[in-house]
Structure 1
Amino acid sequence: MHVTTPVPSLTEVDAICGQAEPVGRNLRITQAYHGLSAGVAARTGQAANWCTFATWASKQAGQTIRRQDLARTIEAGLGGVEEIGAAITRLGEILRAVGRVVDRSILVATVRDAASPVRAAERASEAVARGNVKVFEEIGRAFARFVAGLDEVGDAGARVADGLRPGPPPDGQDLLRAAFAGYGRAIAAGGRRECAEQLLLANLRIGLHEQTRLQPEIARALDAPVAHPREVKARLLARLFPDASPLVRRLGDDGGPLDEVVQRLVEGARRRVRRILTE
């Protein structure tokens, strides 16, 4: 089988990881995964390897990194969240209790602004970009070593495995070691069934390693788009009470009635943003 997609070298992988600009870097990571996928498939056949899935995942990540209509999607999505509707209703009650009557449409706009969809898109972009390069720096580099070693004498998978850290994830690389040994067995397999089984097991091992190692980053990426409750409360106060009167200072006290509104708003926004980012 002839490979037409360029397979990145270790030097090229390192250069991609060193690129500071996230949008262009993501494009190069996606292209590199495609090349690595083709390089492995040239020896195993058309069955998918981990880089095949990584190509798609990196392309999807690129949409968030580029913020393609993300702020608008988040803003539109906030309108249908039950907790946010309840927060707006409660906010209106609080305002009436202190002698302020504000039209609901203004409250809706104020709450959406306080949730800061533009900043949410920025935070999501930054978090996903960090995860994108972190995975590629570790696993993409290992695949580049593997593909480069396929033309050498001996078992390329075993050589890659020997160069990885022992121990379980997130700090160890036992799953990666087993996975690349499995890719080596897939290439040496005598039949298509055995090859497919080895590929599947190797793919699953890398997927488990990746998810285990990146779990803290994944959680931060999903939570990062929503501002801290204190920040949201400060925005609400600044927009609804620009006079900064003593009344405003009391509403801003910890444990005050505005805290309930903010908590509902943040929880609803966080749930909605998570759904948008994972759809």
Structure 2
Amino acid sequence: MDVEAPGTSEVEAITAVPDPVLRNLRITHCYHRLSRALADRTGGSANWCTFAVWASKQVGRTIRREDLARALEHLADPDVVKTLVDALRRVAPLPFDAVADLARRAVLTTARLDEVSDAAARGNLKVFEEIAHEFARYLAFTGPVADFVAALRPGEPPEGQHHLSRAFTRYHQATTTTDPKRRAELLLLANLEVGLHEQTRLQPEIRAALEAPIIDPAELHRRLLDLLLPGNRFTKWLRRVALTLLGRRSALRAATDRLADQARTLARRTVTRHLMTLALPDELLDLSTDLDAPFPPLLVELSDPDLLDLLTRVDPTPDSLRDTAAGDWSDLPDRMHYIADMFRCHAERATLQNPPFTDDQVAAMYDGRLPTGRL
């Protein structure tokens, strides 16, 4: 069934939504409609928007900070908490579980998860504002494709749109050819060209998200004292003096430093793992492990010279899934190696065209409400 493609005015309206959570949900749904509309013209195979649906849905979890906070809530190394308890004895005699809970609260307010969320939201908007606009413009365009691409900026990304110009030329060719293999290779090439443009543009936001959770031991120490030593300012001052006189201020600071080290390591590991996970409709991809899905029959052996040329630049293990695992998601070539093979492996995966949200959830987000249920 044909799907009505969103127009450029709708894309612009979505980019203007001020709430990053609601904006992300509408971005994800809009990508789905763009994907289906283009797939209707190209025989149903995956296009770049198809993959963008699930990438944007994953980004939404980062924007909402749900998985990140949940992972850090498990921070409570018994040895670290015991050190805190020992340092506080005589001044704030709290049970072990209470200190563990306060330690988690202090870490969550110090880990700068809001900066991870902000970086994810900026990247989500940045890509959508540019690329979704061009997909919407293309789907509504009725003239020669040369006239369409003439409006795109020349030059390489991040400022130039050379890769997008080539990609939309391929998409147009894929809508007109009757050769299934030719169409499959054109779509893969177009997807890779859009992907290369997108990932180059996203480089600053990806780095910012990975580097955001820097936990300052001094800030954690202050927050922990505020939680552990409640009362007004004068009472807090007396208790801090008592800590110093009893020789426990330095012990508490050392314990806090240990907590900060542990939290910093866990936060970085958590953010990295979070950014290197992609939930597809029926599979959870761990981007730090090699892909294991077979290439679809039409893409086992490639012949398009432009496609082969691009793959020599982004795929160091051609026609193989060996070493596709991304070791460093902040490294553009590392990301593109994984993305190139992912696009190729899942090019004919029908479930990728599934809607990302229920009808009730879509109705809620267009009504300006956060939908209920799993997002």
**TM-score over 0.5 for the alignment?**
yes
| 1:164 and 2:152 are equivalent in the alignment | yes
Secondary structure at the residue paired with 1:244? helix
CA deviation after TM superposition for structure 1 residue 28, in Å: 2.0
Q: Structure 1, unaligned stretches of length 5 or more? A: none
- 2: CA distance between counterparts of 1:85 and 1:226? 22
Higher helix share: 1
RMSD over aligned Cα atoms: 3.5
CA deviation after TM superposition for structure 1 residue 60, in Å: 2.7
Contact 1:120-1:225 at 8 Å conserved across structures: yes
| 1:138 and 2:130 are equivalent in the alignment | yes
Q: Among 232, 240, 243, which residue is 1:244 paired with?
A: 240
Residues 177-210 of structure 1: CA deviation (Å, up to 9, x unaligned): 2222221222232411011101011111212221
- 1: CA distance between counterparts of 2:66 and 2:249? 40
Partner of 2:71: 74
One-letter amino acid matched to 1:45: G
- 2: CA distance between counterparts of 1:153 and 1:58? 31
| 1:45 and 2:33 are equivalent in the alignment | no
- 1: CA distance between counterparts of 2:156 and 2:78? 45
Residues 48-91 of structure 1: CA deviation (Å, up to 9, x unaligned): 001111122222333343455763x2344434xxxx55644555
Over 3 Å counting, the alpha-carbon distance change for 1:223 and 1:133 in structure 2 is: same
Over 3 Å counting, the alpha-carbon distance change for 1:214 and 1:145 in structure 2 is: same
Contact 2:213-2:264 at 8 Å conserved across structures: no
- 2: CA distance between counterparts of 1:173 and 1:86? 54
Contact 1:74-1:273 at 8 Å conserved across structures: no
Residues 131-187 of structure 1: CA deviation (Å, up to 9, x unaligned): 2211100110111111111xx2322xx434322222222232222222222212222
Partner of 1:6: 4
Contact 1:75-1:117 at 8 Å conserved across structures: no
| Corresponding residue pairs, total | 266
- 2: CA distance between counterparts of 1:90 and 1:270? 23
CA deviation after TM superposition for structure 1 residue 102, in Å: 6.2
Over 3 Å counting, the alpha-carbon distance change for 1:69 and 1:56 in structure 2 is: closer
Secondary structure at the residue paired with 2:143? coil
Partner of 1:148: 140
Q: Structure 2, unaligned stretches of length 5 or more? A: 230-235, 278-375
One-letter amino acid matched to 2:240: A
Contact 1:142-1:160 at 8 Å conserved across structures: no
Over 3 Å counting, the alpha-carbon distance change for 1:88 and 1:249 in structure 2 is: closer
Partner of 1:199: 187
Partner of 1:179: 167
Contact 2:75-2:263 at 8 Å conserved across structures: no
Residues 65-121 of structure 1: CA deviation (Å, up to 9, x unaligned): 3455763x2344434xxxx5564455567x289998765434422321111169766
Contact 1:78-1:269 at 8 Å conserved across structures: no
- 2: CA distance between counterparts of 1:249 and 1:189? 77
Contact 2:215-2:260 at 8 Å conserved across structures: no
Partner of 1:56: 54
TM-score of the superposed pair, with normalisation by structure 1: 0.78
Q: Among 120, 133, 137, which residue is 1:128 paired with?
A: 120
One-letter amino acid matched to 1:176: L
Over 3 Å counting, the alpha-carbon distance change for 1:77 and 1:139 in structure 2 is: farther
Greater shift in the superposed pair: 222-231 or 27-36: 222-231
Contact 2:35-2:47 at 8 Å conserved across structures: yes
Secondary structure at the residue paired with 2:240? coil
Q: Among 233, 254, 263, which residue is 1:265 paired with?
A: 263
- 2: CA distance between counterparts of 1:259 and 1:43? 59
**Runs of 4 or more off by more than 6 Å in structure 1?**
96-102
Secondary structure at the residue paired with 2:4? coil
One-letter amino acid matched to 2:152: L
- 2: CA distance between counterparts of 1:178 and 1:64? 32
